[in-house]
């Protein structure tokens, strides 16, 4: 095997990439979201009118950064990655909001005036990875309530609604009973897979009562059935010629 494809070389490249992310964390736990090396700017081309004081940031990418640091901790056992992950989790928790679902408390991620299914899904994946690797239960309250919110976003036919709050719908208030047309407008290809990965890890690694575990599995299986069988038919025009959903594949694996 060529040296550049050896396990040692791949780990070395991975470490260098994670170190760059680590070196470009802010004091508040956020990451450097965007850097253009050609023009030497952190203002991204999709949001060119932003200023440094009001620069764009994406909470889903933030959660991806948490997962990245925890994966590197898993690979190396080095405490600096775990410490950085805790710092980034603190920022995430500052952006959680609470509501009730069937008499139980539920948390969702609210950022940029939106509450995305994928934001809560990747938050749950992040915290589940923390618990899986450390068995530290300090974030378990949030784990349970993030899962509750995801369960609340599954419609009777298994479709998972892409947004709970969107400033252009229902006056920016929670979207509880979207019409079929609104569901289509709120469609996201990736958010359901992110949410299902969170639920799959929740069901697998948390010590749930049997009845509740069955409820989680039933909801998740119904959502998976919808994604595999119904979504390609109902939203055929929104699919790419060769769709790819790595989050959903991870959920299936879990």
pLDDT digit string, tens, across residues 70-115:
999 999 999 999 999 999 999 999 999 999 988 889 999 999 999 9
pLDDT confidence of residue 51? 86
Binned at pLDDT 50, 70 and 90, residue 2 comes out as: low
DSSP the chain: --GGGSHHHHHHHHHHHHHHHHHTB-TTS-B----BTTTTBSS-TTSTT--STT----HHHHHHHHHHHHHHHHHH--HHHHHHHHHHHHHHHTTEEEEEETTEEEEEE-BTTBEEHHHHHHHHHHHHHHHHHH---TTHHHHHHHHHHHHHTB-TTSPBPSEEE-TTSGGGS---S--HHHHHHT--SSHHHHHHHHHHHHHHHS---HHHHHHHHHHHHHHHHIIIIIHHHHTGGGS-SS---HHHHHHHH-
Q: What is the percent of the chain with per-residue pLDDT over 70, rounded to a whole number? A: 99
| Domain boundaries of the chain, sorted by first residue | 95-253
Average pLDDT of the chain, as a whole number: 94
pTM for the model stands at 0.94
pLDDT by residue (tens digit) across 169-219? Answer: 999 999 999 999 999 999 999 999 999 999 999 999 999 999 999 999 999
């Amino acid at each position: 095997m060529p040296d550049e494809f050896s396990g040692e070389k791949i780990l070395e490249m991975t470490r260098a990439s994670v170190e760059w992310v680590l070196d470009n964390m802010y004091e508040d736990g956020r990451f450097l979201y965007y850097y253009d090396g050609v023009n030497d700017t952190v203002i991204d081309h999709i949001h060119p009118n932003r200023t440094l004081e009001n620069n764009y940031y994406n909470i889903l990418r933030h959660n991806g950064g948490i997962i990245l640091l925890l994966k590197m901790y898993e690979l190396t056992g080095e405490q600096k990655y775990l410490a950085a992950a805790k710092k980034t989790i603190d920022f995430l928790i500052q952006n959680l909001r609470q509501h009730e679902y069937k008499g139980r408390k539920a948390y969702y991620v609210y950022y940029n005036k939106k509450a995305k299914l994928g934001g809560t899904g990747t938050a749950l994946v992040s915290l589940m990875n923390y618990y899986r690797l450390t068995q530290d239960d300090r974030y378990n309250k949030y784990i349970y309530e993030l899962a509750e919110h995801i369960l609340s976003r599954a419609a009777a036919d298994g479709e998972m609604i892409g947004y709970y709050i969107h400033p252009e719908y229902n006056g920016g208030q929670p979207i509880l009973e979207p019409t079929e047309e609104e569901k289509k407008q709120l469609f996201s290809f990736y958010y359901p897979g992110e949410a299902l990965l969170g639920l799959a890890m929740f069901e697998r690694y948390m010590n749930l009562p049997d009845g509740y575990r069955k409820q989680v599995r039933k909801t998740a299986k119904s959502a998976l059935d919808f994604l595999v069988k119904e979504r390609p038919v109902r939203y055929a025009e929104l699919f790419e010629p060769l769709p790819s959903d790595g989050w959903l594949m991870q959920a299936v694996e879990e």
